[in-house]
Amino acid sequence: MAGADSPGEPKPRVRSAARAIALLQAIAAHGGGGIGATELARDLGLSRQVVYHLLHTLSALQMVRKTNGNRYLLGLGVATLAQGFNRQFQAPDFLLPYAREAAEATGETAYAVGWVEGEIVVLASARGGLPVQAAEIPRGFAGDAHARASGKLLLAMSPEDQVDAYLQRHPRTRRTAHTVASRSGLKAQFAEIREQGFGMDREEFAEGLSCLAVPIGRMPAAFALGISAPTDRLTERQAAYLHSLRGVVAAHEGTSE
């Protein structure tokens, strides 16, 4: 995985700040059990001495906290940033109806995703009415695009140099045993997506859940519409769900599917 100072990328003016942000992002990417300092050093390509220095500084600022098992989680200080982000972040108004209509048409959790300042971000989401639902990905979420159907779709539709830069900047965490993390594997998936015109992940982001996404607008497009569903249900209804998602997009474009 590329570290905070990956060669070939523009060097930040304040390297320690870039490293601290990379460390916070790495902690945020892990679950409730947190992550250890040794793992952080390995994943970020930094020495343990540098990682410990950053952790002590961030702990003093309440940006991270250490568990009894010597693992690190985000601290209370991050909540202020998260609240401020939610207040300031405004998704394009036109995207929320896509998510709501997709959720209504399929009964599944739906979301609209797009490129925002070089990141692939969840811009709108809506829950469906079926009894068993995928957890709703929060608005503003920008992680693990390599493991999400919508992220794969947007990457597949992007210029190769943009894709290479994105993959170099972002950790390709293996969230499940099914996650495709290698560049060669992802490039093969991107080629398939371009050929079939939609993106999928089968339990790559979360065990038991699969996702399906279509472009909003003609390919290439900067936005995508997707749903998350229990794998068995999505597998059984994939053709119908794909038809519904494309129908929602076509209705907003004033065209027939």
Q: Encoding tokens for residue 36?
A: 């250890």
What is the pLDDT confidence band of residue 90, given thresholds at 50, 70 and 90? low
What is the pLDDT confidence band of residue 247, given thresholds at 50, 70 and 90? very high
pLDDT for position 13: 67
Domains and CATH numbers, the chain: 15-85 (1.10.10.10), 90-253 (3.30.450.40)
pLDDT for position 130: 87
- Residue 9 scores a pLDDT above 50: no
What is the pLDDT confidence band of residue 165, given thresholds at 50, 70 and 90? confident
Q: What one-letter code names the amino acid at 233?
A: R
The count of other CB atoms within 10 Å of the CB of residue 224 is 30
Tell me the C-alpha distance between 224 and 216, whole Å.
Answer: 5
What is the pLDDT confidence band of residue 31, given thresholds at 50, 70 and 90? low
pLDDT for position 87: 65
What is the pLDDT confidence band of residue 97, given thresholds at 50, 70 and 90? very high
Residue 37 contacts by C-beta under 8 Å, 6 or more apart in sequence? 48, 51, 52, 55, 70, 72
- Residue 2 scores a pLDDT above 80: no
pLDDT for position 211: 95
Please write the tens of the pLDDT for every residue from 221-240: 789 999 999 999 999 999 99
